[in-house]
Amino acid sequence: MLFGFEWDLSNPLAFAISILPILLIGMWVTIQATVVGFFVALVLGLIFAILKSAPSRFIAWPARLVTEFIRDTPLLVQLFFLYYVLPEYGIVLPAFMTGALALGLQYSAYTSEVYRAGIEAVGRDQHEAARALNLPSARTFTHIVVPQAIPRIVPAMGNYLVSIMKDVPVLSVVTVLEMLNVAKIIGDRTFNYLIPLSMVGGLYLIMTLVASAGVRLLDRYLPKQGLPLK
Amino acid sequence: MTDPIIKFDKVVKRFGDLTVLDELDFEVQKGEKVSIIGPSGSGKSTVLRILMTLEQIDGGIVAVGGEPLWHEPGPNGLQPASEAHLRKMRAQLGMVFQQFNLFPHMSVLRNITEAPVRVLGLSKVEARERGEELLELVGLADQADKYPHQLSGGQQQRVGIARALAMRPSILLFDEPTSALDPELVGEVLTVIGRLAEEHDLTMLLVTHEMRFAREISDRVCFFDKGQIREEGTPEALFTDPNEERTREFLKAVLD
């Protein structure tokens, strides 16, 4: 029994059906971790991107160093660090939040590069036109550069969304009951690993396909020339 | 003669080892329509880009309306201009780009009204009225809600002209405004520029390869070569009877 659901071991199909609600609870945790992690990656990545392109070297270089460090160390190391080291300094977060934060932190290093590429892809001609019209640089960034950069970064961000989703099982090592962890517990208790793990694979396939389709749809409907301003 | 509205005094501009403007002296009177012609790489566009503050200078003084553009008075004489000074100076100038440089994600009207609202502080209604008037002027009154990619090149460039005019500059710079256009679309843009030249007391500086047009609308034509003005004069004098051999060669090459 797990989460109040009994399993039925009489035959494989009955077993699969009986553990589906349990796996779906785990899947919901996986989705939550993905969403929170992706949100953190989007926000933190934008901050890193802005810092990295700061005119002052004293801001740009540390930002570059930090993102490079994040990118070149394993997610698991960062996760352990956050989970075991932070409490020593009095910062105690629930396992789920720690995990989602670690995911977001790792991926913010990647998304910051996507932002940077998207921002730099907005041509010099646009900056010159804005300058000739005397538009303030903050306004140029928010209303000329960003609306044109967004359609360009959507596909790459979509790929990272799927990657984050597939990395969520790493959080099982810090006791987060995401889908894979739940399946493993079922296996440990019933000695049947084949069915729960296969189901996890299938459910993952459905999740990633849905996410990819969503991103493609968004990509198709975003105007290539930028978010329209009337 | 009154004080010139634009004055280049021994202006030097380098790109790496290449000297683009070589101690250029150049003056434009208020309301004057001046065409700049010359071979590519002769520094023609650079003159406009320096005026629009898109390109810094490496030596000399540029003055607009009697005030230094790239410098401002400091405790020890002239010092490099601050962004605030450049913003103030830029308000006098408008630019029409070779590649139009419209904002592709903004409607035609928004392209025109964005800066008047944000920079001049016009209300949206005022800006809209101004925008519609200008679209009327360039013959695009019915295209206000379209987006640039839905327009032809000639129409896009006319929007570019309206956008520059919306800031009410006293000096309008045209950087090869028809060079990126298909031949059949050149005429409609030139017509608009010609009308502006006739009906407004704007000071106009036009870098162009359209010799016939330069001849029609200009008060003065300057032939640039190797970062200096090789020869200048009225269109008649320069086109029919140039003094310099280099001018003659150039005109022969482009007019044939």
For residue B81, the 8-state DSSP code is P
Tokens for B131, please give them.
Answer: 């925008």
Mean pLDDT of chain B: 93
Q: What is the pLDDT of residues A13-54, one digit of tens each?
A: 999 999 999 999 999 999 999 999 999 999 999 999 989 988
B105: nearest CB among A128, A135, A229: A229
CB contact under 8 A, A128 and B97: yes
| Min Cα–Cα distance to chain B from A152, Å | 13
CB contact under 8 A, B107 and A230: yes
pLDDT above 80 for B123: yes
Residue of B nearest to A229 (CA): B106
Tokens for A87, please give them.
Answer: 């409490």
pLDDT above 90 for B171: yes
Burial class (CB in 10 A: 0-12, 13-18, 19+), B219: middle
Which residues have a Cβ under 8 Å from the Cβ of B108 and sit 6 or more positions away?
A: B135, B140, B143, B144, B145, B146, B147, B148, B151, B159
The pLDDT value given to residue B108? 97
Task: Name the residue type at position A79.
Answer: L
Q: Mean of the pLDDT values across residues A83-108?
A: 93
Q: Mean of the pLDDT values across residues B230-237?
A: 93
Neighbours of A81 (CB within 10 A): 14
B85 touches chain A (CB under 8 A): no
What is the pairing mode between strands B71-74 and B77-80? antiparallel
Show residues of chain B in contact with A129, CB under 8 Å: 97, 101-103
The pLDDT value given to residue A1? 75
Residue of B nearest to A136 (CA): B119
pLDDT above 90 for B60: yes
Three-class HEC string of chain A:
CECCECCCCCCHHHHHHHHHHHHHHHHHHHHHHHHHHHHHHHHHHHHHHHHHCCCCHHHHHHHHHHHHHHHCCCHHHHHHHHHHHHHHHCCCCCHHHHHHHHHHHHHHHHHHHHHHHHHHHCCHHHHHHHHHCCCCHHHHHHHHHHHHHHHHHHHHHHHHHHHHHHHHHHHHHHCCCCHHHHHHHHHHHHCCCHHHHHHHHHHHHHHHHHHHHHHHHHHHHCCCCCCCEC
**Percentage of residues of chain B with pLDDT beyond 90:** 84
The pLDDT value given to residue B74? 85
Which residues have a Cβ under 8 Å from the Cβ of A99 and sit 6 or more positions away?
A: A33, A37, A79, A83, A168, A170, A171, A174, A176
Q: What is the pLDDT of residues B242-253, one digit of tens each?
A: 999 999 999 988
CB contact under 8 A, A135 and B52: no
CB contact under 8 A, A131 and B163: no
- What is the band of B44 on the pLDDT scale with cuts at 50, 70, 90? very high
The pLDDT value given to residue B77? 84
- Residues on chain A bordering chain B, Cβ-to-Cβ distance under 8 angstroms: 125-126, 128-129, 131-136, 139, 143-144, 147-148, 223, 225-230
**Percentage of residues of chain B with pLDDT beyond 70:** 100
CB contact under 8 A, B110 and A229: yes
- What is the band of B75 on the pLDDT scale with cuts at 50, 70, 90? confident
CB contact under 8 A, A129 and B53: no
Give the predicted TM-score (pTM) of the model: 0.85
| Interface test with chain A among B89, B97, B101, by most A beta carbons within 10 Å | B101
pLDDT above 90 for B105: yes
Show residues of chain B in contact with A148, CB under 8 Å: 104-105
The pLDDT value given to residue B256? 73
- What is the band of B41 on the pLDDT scale with cuts at 50, 70, 90? confident
ipTM, two decimals: 0.92
Q: Which domains does chain A have, with CATH numbers?
A: 12-221 (1.10.3720.10)
The pLDDT value given to residue A3? 84
The pLDDT value given to residue B255? 81
| Min Cα–Cα distance to chain A from B94, Å | 6
CB contact under 8 A, A230 and B110: yes
To which residue do tokens 């540390």 refer?
Answer: A62
Cα B177 to Cα B186: distance, rounded to the nearest angstrom: 9
Phi, then psi, of B235 in degrees rounded to 5: -55, -40
The pLDDT value given to residue A53? 85
If we measure between CA atoms, which residue out of B252, B256, B255, B251 comes closest to residue B38?
Answer: B251
- What is the band of B78 on the pLDDT scale with cuts at 50, 70, 90? confident
B104: nearest CB among A131, A132, A225: A225
Show residues of chain A in contact with B127, CB under 8 Å: none
| Min Cα–Cα distance to chain A from B35, Å | 20
pLDDT above 60 for A82: yes
Cα B158 to Cα B140: distance, rounded to the nearest angstrom: 8
Q: Mean of the pLDDT values across residues A170-199?
A: 94
Residue of B nearest to A223 (CA): B105
- What is the band of B1 on the pLDDT scale with cuts at 50, 70, 90? low
Q: Mean of the pLDDT values across residues A113-119?
A: 93
Q: Mean of the pLDDT values across residues A67-95?
A: 92
